[in-house]
Chains A and B, each alone.
Chain A
Amino acid sequence: MKKNGLIFLTCASLFVMGCAIKPTDPIALQAYEEANDPLEPFNRAMFETNMLLDTAILKPVAKGYRAITPVFVRQGVSNFFDNLKQPGYFVNSLLQGEGQTAFDISRRFLANTLLGLGGLFDVASDMNIPVHTNDFGETLAVWGWEKSEPYIVWPLLGPSNPRDTIGAGFNMALSTAELSVIDEPMVRYGIWALDTVQTREKSIEFIESLEKGTTDLYATVRSMYRQNREKKINKATGTLENQGVSAYDFDFDDEE
């Protein structure tokens, strides 16, 4: 108990030390408010740490994985992991009351598991079964927690916010439960590690071009994460259907 209290205090002080100071200059204040990132010093430190780990470990391993595997093997591995995520998407669709989506996901899972050799082949796409993704963060949004601040960057996990942090915890618990059918812990860790590596392999070029094309990678990732997440949340809650393009529709003249 004493140890837990100490951990809590350390984390709390790290957060407090990692809070951004509000500027007094009006233009700087506007920039500060636009960033809407009160934990920015903490977040930037976590982001740098994650990038260092990525450069030192994950990216070289992902490149090595690419070097030793032919395209059809990587495609099969990717299909396998996509299929493994379907039960989680299915549960979240049910929790969101999306019957048709849950039906599509179950059809996709059954087709790929039974006809696609345990998910190695994506026969469901050939059968024109639509792809849906889903997570517990979206479920929480459907249940009413639509806006969630502040922006947080977690070690290893990356960009998030309080709602999506809880969502990620639930998703992790779901996939742990799914993998619990495998008795051997080393096999379970191996599957998790392979999924991490194959996911990173798919984004080697995209992340490289992102790094080259920005003056501030942290700010770019924060912006892209938030916008993309907002679109997914709006789609899940039906806001996108109701309000059309309003999420991206700013007024070009509002600074006149």
Chain B
Amino acid sequence: MKKLTAVFLSAFLMTMPVKAEQAGIDFTKKLADDIIVNVLSANISDEEKLKVFHDRFKEDLDIQTIGKRVTGTYWKKATPKEQEEFLAAFLDFTTKSWADKFNLYTGQKINFTGIQAAKSGQFFVSSAVEGNPPAEVLWRIKKSGDSYKITDIVIEGVSMVTSYRNEYVAFLYKNGGKLSSLTEELKRKSASFSFTKK
């Protein structure tokens, strides 16, 4: 009986990571499908696309983890209020600058190819965007309670988080290291985007 229990228990434990991995792929696939259907291919104005995309990014992006990483050692120097203001400006600016690239999408399909473990207890979900050669897109995800959050997107080897970090650390280095100066710059740049209304 003991032997049988052990067999069942090990079989159960072996399926756990598989289930977690499949759930991670399902989450990423659903997110990509939703963005393609409800944003990229949707018959709505650019302004409405931005709103849907912003809400989706806010819900599914781990902005706290990303914000901390992209500001490097300057994060710790800032007050909690400055950090909070930065995160709001960063989310707003990121969604607008991504939305500005929506017209580069020309209907390519995304095929999800697998998942592998990453540092900090996270995962990379691999996908390929149709084309010859296909473009590789990796979605870095983190399990957060029962759901998942995106912590990075790597397109053809270029990590969104690493790129923002290299840019923001360079900006802060040149501008006296005050996080508030970066927040102001992001707000100023955000205002330069314009999206057509219906």
Contact = CB atoms under 8 A, between A and B. Distances in A.
Interface of A: 27-28, 30-32, 34-35, 125, 130-132, 205-206, 209, 212-216, 218-220, 222-224, 227-228, 230-232, 244-245, 247-253, 255
Interface stretch (B3-11, B44-52, B70-78): B70-78
B119 A35 contact: no
Contact of A253 (B72, B120, B124, B140): B120
A31 B167 contact: no
Contacts of B177: 27-28
B133 to A, nearest CB: 5
A219 B171 contact: yes
B171 A228 contact: no
B162 A223 contact: yes
B68 interface: yes
Contact of A255 (B72, B122, B133, B158): B72
The A interface is mostly helix, strand or loop, or mixed, namely helix
A75 B174 CA distance: 43
A212 B96 CA distance: 10
Interface string B156-185: 111101110111111111100100001001
A232 B73 contact: no
A247 to B, nearest CB: 7
Given A209-B97, A219-B167, A245-B116, A125 B132 contact: yes
The B interface is mostly helix, strand or loop, or mixed, namely helix
19 contacts: A32-B173, A34-B165, A34-B169, A131-B132, A206-B104, A209-B97, A213-B101, A215-B186, A219-B171, A228-B158, A231-B158, A232-B157, A245-B118, A245-B154, A251-B120, A252-B68, A252-B119, A252-B151, A255-B73
Given A27-B177, A224-B163, A251-B119, A245 B170 contact: no
B29 interface: no
8 closest A-B pairs by CB? A231-B157, A213-B97, A223-B166, A219-B170, A31-B173, A252-B120, A251-B119, A227-B158
B173 A220 contact: no
Given A231-B156, A252-B120, A212 B189 contact: yes
Nearest to A218: B170
A249 B72 CA distance: 16
Interface in B23-75: 65, 68-69, 72-75
A40 to B, nearest CB: 9
Nearest to A31: B173
Interface in B81-127: 93, 97-98, 100-101, 103-104, 116, 118-120, 122, 124
A69 to B, nearest CB: 19
B196 interface: no
B195 interface: no
Contacts of A28: 173, 177
